[in-house]
């Protein structure tokens, strides 16, 4: 019988466990960097901390799938990696590859292992085609000992050798060469602070609830309609909305937080015509008709899965907004094989919103780009 026990352990770091090396020699560089990185075990391993999102998927009408990944942070092989590049573009030719209707996917991995070497050892983002059983990955050379974090899983469908649609998969995990890989490493066994998070949630009843948010400011009034004539003049811009009111105080508890102040009202939109906007609710994947895209609102209210809006060819005078009435982890893809889509000056074949956040919106207008050709010009707003 013993009243105490000294368990097997590692301490990162204390003077007893430190190894003594001369400064700036190979051994000191290898050991000190690794020992310091082990502090990250307090959070977890092979997991995305922030960012590394899919910001664009394109390739509809072509055999080339293009995936763009944002910057971000992750812990892989007990090493903190910061991906600084804001746009990381990956492509793969799928003309001869089976699509998601056959159980196949595209997947993006971070390829990195800590090496006990002072040689340059950068992390690499890699795009693979994954077979239905997960055993075959193309291109060849997949290393499961280095590709430890799967940051994206993508559905794609083909018509012949060309892509007909491409979107973020609703699956949260995938069997890869016999091992279950979770998107961004999000599973409890990867997160060492999972119990702490659960405890905080359980203690929520001891914490005063936050105050209610202030009410939003009123919207600015619409612009006046253009006057009639051979070519009516443009309508005037709408006036700015008023400021929102302050939020109420938090309810009693150990920590009752104050309510947030109301947001300012949005500016009034420029005058389009004297009539009100027509709203269409589209909770499922659909091809939008030209008649629905003149001075209108397309609302995703009721969306329960990943969906795709397919736009028709842009025509003169088209102007509409996609406004998110339902927010969730599902994605909404807006694509057009008939006309080009420009977003902030960049050309896309599809715009992916993931996750969907209530009240976010994208405004689309047709713009003439040829003697008889129009394209879609898109602008995001919060």
8 A C-beta contact, residue 42 and residue 10 = no
- According to DSSP, the residues that pair with 81 across neighbouring strands are 74
Closest CA to 212 of 246, 178, 188, 236: 246
**What is the reported pLDDT for 291?**
92
Tokens of 342: 């420009």
Taking residue 150's Cβ as centre, other Cβ atoms within 10 Å add up to 22
Distance CA 138, CA 107 (A): 10
* Residue matched to tokens 């001869």: 96
Q: Residue 127 above 50 pLDDT?
A: yes
What is the residue-averaged pLDDT of the chain?
A: 79
Name the more confident of 211 and 109: 109
Q: Which residues contact 244 (CB under 8 A, 6 or more apart)?
A: 214, 215, 216, 217, 261, 262, 263, 264, 265
CATH topology of domain 277-382: Jelly Rolls (2.60.120)
Tokens of 137: 């990955």
Q: What does the H/E/C string look like for 136-191? A: CEECCCCCCCCEEEEEEEEEEEEECCEEEEEEECCCCEEEECCEEEEECCCCHHHE
Domain ranges in the chain? 44-188, 277-382
Query: pLDDT above 70 covers what percent of the chain?
Result: 69
**What is the reported pLDDT for 115?**
76
Query: pLDDT above 90 covers what percent of the chain?
Result: 46
8 A C-beta contact, residue 371 and residue 357 = no
Q: Based on the number of CB atoms within 10 Å of its own CB, is 224 exposed (0-12), middle (13-18) or buried (19 or more)?
A: middle
Tokens of 331: 């994605």
Q: Residue 51 above 80 pLDDT?
A: yes
Q: What is the DSSP letter of 330?
A: -
Name the more confident of 372 and 195: 372
Sheet containing 294-299: which strands, arranged edge to edge? 278-281, 294-299, 319-323, 361-368, 374-381, 341-343, 346-348
Name the more confident of 60 and 252: 60
Tokens of 82: 């910061």
Strands 162-168 and 147-159: antiparallel
* Average pLDDT score over residue span 284-311: 94
């Amino acid at each position: 019988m013993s009243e105490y026990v000294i368990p097997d352990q590692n301490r990162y770091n204390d003077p007893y466990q430190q190894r003594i090396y001369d400064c700036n020699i190979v051994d000191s560089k290898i050991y000190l960097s690794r020992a310091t990185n082990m502090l990250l075990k307090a959070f977890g391993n092979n997991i995305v901390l922030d960012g590394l999102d899919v910001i664009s998927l394109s390739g509809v009408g072509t055999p080339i799938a293009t995936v763009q990944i944002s910057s971000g942070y992750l812990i892989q092989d007990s090493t903190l990696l910061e991906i600084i590049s804001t746009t990381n573009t990956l492509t793969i030719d799928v003309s001869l590859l089976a699509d998601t209707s056959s159980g196949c996917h595209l997947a993006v991995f971070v390829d990195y292992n800590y090496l006990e070497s002072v040689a340059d050892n950068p992390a690499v983002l890699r795009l693979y085609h994954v077979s239905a059983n997960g055993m075959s990955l193309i291109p060849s050379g997949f290393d499961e000992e280095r590709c430890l974090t799967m940051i994206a899983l993508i559905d794609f469908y083909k018509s012949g050798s060309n892509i007909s649609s491409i979107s973020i998969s609703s699956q949260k995990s995938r069997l890869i060469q016999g091992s279950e890989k979770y998107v961004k490493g999000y599973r409890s066994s990867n997160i060492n602070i999972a119990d702490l998070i659960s405890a905080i949630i359980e203690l929520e009843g001891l914490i005063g609830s936050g105050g209610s948010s202030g009410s939003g400011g009123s919207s600015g009034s619409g612009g006046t309609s253009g006057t009639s004539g051979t070519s009516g003049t443009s309508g005037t811009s709408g006036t700015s909305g008023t400021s929102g009111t302050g939020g109420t105080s938090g309810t009693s508890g150990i920590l009752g937080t104050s309510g947030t102040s109301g947001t300012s009202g949005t500016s009034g939109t420029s005058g389009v015509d004297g009539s009100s906007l027509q709203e269409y609710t589209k909770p499922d994947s659909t091809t939008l008709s030209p008649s629905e895209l003149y001075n209108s609102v397309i609302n995703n209210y009721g969306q329960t899965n990943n969906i795709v809006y397919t736009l028709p060819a842009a025509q003169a005078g088209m102007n509409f907004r996609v406004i998110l009435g339902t927010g969730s982890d599902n994605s909404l893809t807006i694509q057009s094989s008939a006309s080009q889509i420009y977003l902030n000056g960049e050309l896309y074949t599809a715009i992916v919103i993931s996750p969907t956040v209530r009240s976010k919106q994208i405004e689309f207008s047709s713009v003439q780009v040829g003697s008889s050709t129009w394209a879609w010009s898109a602008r995001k707003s919060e």
